Structure 1
Amino acid sequence: MNTVNVGSADNQKTKNKVIFVMGATATGKSKLSIDLATHFHGEVINSDKIQVYKGLDIITNKVTVEEARGVPHHLLGIVNDSEEDFTVDDFCHNALEAIYAILKKGKVPIIGGGSNSYLEKLVEDPTINFRQRFDCCFIWVDASLPVLHERVGKRIDQMVIAGLLDEVREMFVMGADYNRGIRRAIGAPELESYFMVEKDTSGDEATKSNILANAIEEIKANTRKLVDSQLGKIHRLKNELGWDLHRVDVTSVYEKCGKDAEVAWEQQVLKESLEIVGSFLN
C-alpha cells in the first residue's frame, strides 16, 4: 500500500483548482473531460478502477488516440499485471502525484471517471485533506435513466462489432478469478460460458449462438445495474456528503443521432460546461 505524500501544497496561500467530471457509464464523461482540457489547457486523470489496467481497451471503453485529441491522460493503462489489486489508496497516491505534475506544468488537472469510491476517498479522507489544499469543481454528466439504459445497450452492440469477443477471448483462462484485477470488468465473466463451449466441435451451433446471445444480454443487464449503482453513489455524495455538483443534462444528445447529436452536445452540454468551468477558474 502506498503512503500518500501531501507535498508542499499544504503551505500555499492560494489553493490550486481541480476539476472533476463525474457520471454514470455511457454519459460522455471522457468526451467532456477532453473538451474541457482542450479549452482550458488541461490534462486528464483517469478515475475508472478498471481503465487503470493495461488491456481490454474495447470492453473498458478506453479513449483512443484519436478521441484524446492530443490531451495527455494519466492513470490510464498503467497497471500491467491483470490480477493486481489497484486499491483506493493506490489511486489517491497516483492521482495526487499526477495533480502536482500537471500543476507544475501550469496546466489544469481534470479528473474524469466513474469509480465514485475512488473520488470519495480522495476528497473526503481526513489524512489527505484534499479540500484544504484544492478548490474543487464537480461536474455531473447525467441523462434520464430510460435514455441511458437504451444507450448502454447500443454501446455494447457497437463494442461487439468493434471486436469485443476477440479481445476477451485473448485473456480467457478457464477457472480464472473474476474478482481480481482487470477480469472484474463487466463482459469478462459473462462470456466465460460461451468460450468454454465455443471450440467444442461436437457441440450444436444453435446452442452456442444462444449461449452467446444470452451472455451479451447479461453484459447489458449488468452494465445497467452498474449505472444504477453509480447514480446511487453520486446522489449520496450530493445529498449526504453535501458535494456541490453541477448537473449537466445530456439526455437530448442521446435522443438524437449523427450531426444533430453533435450540435446538441456543442450547444447544450459543452456550452454550459464551459460556462461553469470558466467561472470556477476565473
Structure 2
Amino acid sequence: MKLSLSATKLVQPRVSLGLNLEAFFRRKDKVVFVMGATGTGKSRLAIDLATRFPAEIVNSDKMQVYKGLDILTNKVSEEECRGVPHHLLGIVDPDSNFTSMDFQHRASLAVESIHAEGRLPIIAGGSNSYIEALVSDDPEFRLRCECCFLWVDVSLPVLHSFVSQRVDKMVQAGLVDEAAQMFDPLADYSLGIRRAIGVPELDQYFRGGPTVDAKIRARMLHTAISKIKQNTCTLASRQLQKILRLYNNWNWRMHRIDATEVFLKRGDEADEAWERLVAGPSTMIVDQFLCEQNRVPTILTSAVPIAAAVAAASR
C-alpha cells in the first residue's frame, strides 16, 4: 500500500468584511469521498466502510444515477449493498439530462439529510466532474463540510485487463439483451443514459437486425464488444488524469490506496489482499479523520508527489 504523505504549514486566515467568522470556525461536518477509475472497486470499498461506520452512500457515477441498464452501468445489487442505504442511485429518468449542477444540488441535500441523522456520508463514484462541482464549486458545501478523499488506484495495464474481463462477464450476464431494450434508431446518444459506454457501440449491431447473415452478425457483435472494452479502458485513463488534475489544482486531502496487488490474485488470496491493502488501511484513515477536531486552515504541501507515485506504479 502506498499512501500520500503531506506536511502542513499553518497560515493565518484572511478575513474579509463579509465573512461569517462563527460559521468559518465552527466544527464542520465530515464527508468521505471514494474516488478512482472505473473498475477499481470504489463501490466495494464504500460499502465496506459503511458497514464499519454509521454511514450512508451517495452515488457520484453519472450513468448509475439513471434508472435502467443495471448490468451495463454496473450498479450494485441489493445483495451487494448489504443493507447500506444508497442515495442518487437509479433515480433519474433515462431520457433526461442530469447535469453536474443537478448533482451538486441533489448531493448537497442528501449529505445534509445524512448528517441530520447523525451518520457519515460516503460519496462514491467515478464521475469526477460531479465531485468537483460539489467540492470546488459549492461554497456552502465547503463552509459546512470537511472532506477526506480515498483514491483507489490500480496500475493501468492491470486495470485494463480487468475491465476487459469484466465486460465479458457483463455480456454473459445479459448486457446485449439489456441494451437492446433501450435501442431506438432515432435516439440521441449525447443525452441521458444512452451516453453510457455499451449503448452507442451496439447501435450498428442492432440496426443490422436478425435478417443479416449469422456470420456477419456475429462479427458485428464481436466488433461492438471490442469497442466497449477499448472505450472503457480509455475512460479509465481519462479518469486517472482527471484525479491527478483535481489533486494538483485544489490540493485536496487525498490518500492514494494502491490496490494493484488485489487484482493480480484470485479467490481467498484476493479477499485477503483487499482487506490488508485496501479496506483495512482505509478504515484506519477514516477512523482517524472522524476523531480529528477541525483543523486551522492550512496549505498542504505533498511530501511524496502523487503524480510521481502514479507514474512509477504505471510503468
The answer, yes or no, to whether TM exceeds 0.5 is yes
Letter in 1 for 2:271: E
Alpha-carbon distance in structure 2 between the residues aligned to 1:11 and 1:124: 16
- Equivalent in the alignment of 1:115: 127
- Equivalent in the alignment of 1:132: 143
- Describe the superposition over 1:167-199 as per-residue Cα deviations: whole angstroms up to 9, x where unpaired: 000111113110000000000000011111132
Greater Rg, structure 1 or structure 2?
Answer: 2
Tell me the percent identity: 55
Deviation at 1:101, TM superposition (A): 0.8
- Describe the superposition over 1:114-145 as per-residue Cα deviations: whole angstroms up to 9, x where unpaired: 110111111111x5342221110000000101
Alpha-carbon distance in structure 2 between the residues aligned to 1:132 and 1:176: 41
Alpha-carbon distance in structure 2 between the residues aligned to 1:196 and 1:15: 54
1:104 to 103, 106, 116: 116
Q: Which runs of 4+ in 1 moved over 6 A?
A: none
3-state DSSP class of the match of 2:50? helix
Letter in 2 for 1:25: T
Is 1:93 the counterpart of 2:102? The answer is: no
Letter in 1 for 2:125: G
- Describe the superposition over 1:58-81 as per-residue Cα deviations: whole angstroms up to 9, x where unpaired: 00000000000000000001112x
Q: Which runs of 5+ in 2 are unaligned?
A: 1-21, 292-315
- Equivalent in the alignment of 1:30: 43
> Cα RMSD between the aligned structures?
1.3
Is 1:218 the counterpart of 2:248? The answer is: no
Alpha-carbon distance in structure 1 between the residues aligned to 2:31 and 2:141: 10
- Equivalent in the alignment of 2:175: 164
| Mapped contact 2:108–2:141 kept (Cα < 8 A) | no
Is 1:228 the counterpart of 2:241? The answer is: no
- Larger relative contact order (C-alpha < 8 A, sep ≥ 6)? 2
Alpha-carbon distance in structure 1 between the residues aligned to 2:96 and 2:288: 40
3-state DSSP class of the match of 2:51? helix
Alpha-carbon distance in structure 2 between the residues aligned to 1:177 and 1:193: 14
Deviation at 1:239, TM superposition (A): 1.5
3-state DSSP class of the match of 1:247? strand
| Mapped contact 2:24–2:143 kept (Cα < 8 A) | no
Alpha-carbon distance in structure 1 between the residues aligned to 2:208 and 2:223: 14
| Mapped contact 1:123–1:129 kept (Cα < 8 A) | no
Alpha-carbon distance in structure 2 between the residues aligned to 1:60 and 1:41: 27
